[in-house]
């Protein structure tokens, strides 16, 4: 574990860590220390073959939510850091907030934000490096909001030419979309390939909501799910 008060982790060091397959975490919000994590098996989402269940596809297509990107990073990371029913503590401490806020200011961290009647009800944030995207955390206060954010994220990654969608770990929530674990050596090979390419996050406007039908069409060249 690294002492957050003594180790100077800069945004540049953080990006180098991501390029090497390492990411930071904290024990909880009140602990200033940050430690590096390099899982033996890494979670990844398939950009080709991403699965959207029929009910969720109907929700996306209905445009019940408005989805934008990179409009309110602070609100998204605060939502991700808020206490949840399934966890008493959050790993997002003040140092994590500062570091990823700095990456956001430099154009390397991004958000997908889900709104209902003008209110933020879900979203996610992550890091973009080359043609790799590293998902960090997501939240929702309304049913399906975080799932809709993930669908919009993967559609944007596909349209923008990304080659790797890293979830760090695989959860039951992510397996429904086709997430799988890959061994570290396989992941590092795929990571090296992805960061060597250039992808485009802004393939779609950030502040204009995308139609759900267009998002679903971007996920598959065939009929929508």
What is the phi-psi region of residue 70: left when phi exceeds 0, alpha when psi lies from -120 to 50, beta otherwise? Answer: left
Q: What is the pLDDT of residue 66?
A: 97
Q: What is the enclosing helix (H) or strand (E) of 35? A: strand 35-37
Q: Is the dihedral of CA 79, 207, 203, 18 positive or negative?
A: negative
For residue 88, the model assigns a pLDDT of 55
Assigned CATH topology for domain 40-87+108-217: Aminopeptidase (3.40.630)
Q: How confident is the model at residue 111 (pLDDT cuts 50, 70, 90)?
A: very high
Query: For the CA atoms of the chain, what is the radius of gyration?
Result: 17
178-202: per-residue pLDDT in tens?
999 999 999 999 999 999 999 999 9
Contacts of 32 (CB under 8 A, 6+ apart): 3, 4, 5, 26, 93, 94, 95
φ, ψ at 93 (rounded to 5°): -95, 180
Give residue 7's pLDDT band: very low, low, confident or very high (50, 70, 90). Answer: low
Residues 6+ apart with CB under 8 A from 156: 69, 112, 201, 203, 204, 218
What DSSP character marks residue 117?
T
**Is pLDDT at 29 greater than 90 in this prediction?**
no
Is pLDDT of 78 > 60? yes
Closest CA to 214 of 168, 156, 140: 156
Q: In this predicted structure, what is the pLDDT of residue 87? A: 58
Asked whether residue 91 carries a pLDDT value surpassing 90, the answer given is: no
For the chain, the domains span 40-87+108-217
Nearest to 31 by CA among 125, 96, 127: 96
Q: 148-165, pLDDT tens digit by residue?
A: 999 999 999 999 999 999
Has residue 31 got a pLDDT over 60?
Answer: yes
Strand partners, 138: 124
Contact 162, 46 (CB under 8 A): no
Kindly report the pTM of this predicted structure. 0.92
- pLDDT bin (cut points 50, 70, 90) of residue 32 is confident
């Amino acid at each position: 574990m690294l002492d957050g008060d003594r180790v100077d982790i800069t945004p540049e060091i953080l990006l180098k860590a991501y390029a090497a397959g390492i990411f930071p975490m904290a024990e909880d919000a009140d602990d200033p220390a940050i430690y590096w994590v390099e899982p033996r098996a890494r979670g990844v989402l398939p950009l080709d073959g991403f699965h959207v269940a029929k009910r969720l596809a109907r929700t996306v297509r209905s445009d019940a939510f408005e989805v934008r990107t990179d409009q309110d990073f602070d609100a998204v990371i605060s939502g991700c850091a808020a206490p949840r029913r399934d966890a008493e503590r959050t790993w997002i401490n003040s140092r994590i907030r500062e570091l990823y806020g700095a990456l956001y200011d430099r154009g390397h961290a991004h958000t997908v934000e889900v709104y209902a009647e003008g209110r933020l009800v879900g979203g996610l944030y992550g890091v973009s490096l080359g043609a790799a995207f590293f998902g960090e955390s997501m939240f929702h206060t309304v049913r399906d909001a975080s799932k809709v954010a993930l669908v919009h994220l993967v559609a944007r990654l596909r349209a923008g030419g990304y080659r790797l969608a890293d979830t760090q770990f695989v959860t039951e929530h992510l397996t429904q979309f086709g997430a799988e674990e890959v061994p570290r050596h396989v992941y590092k090979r795929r990571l090296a390939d992805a960061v060597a390419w250039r992808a485009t996050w802004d393939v779609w406007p950030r502040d204009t909501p995308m139609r759900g039908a267009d998002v679903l069409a971007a996920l598959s060249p065939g009929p929508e799910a």
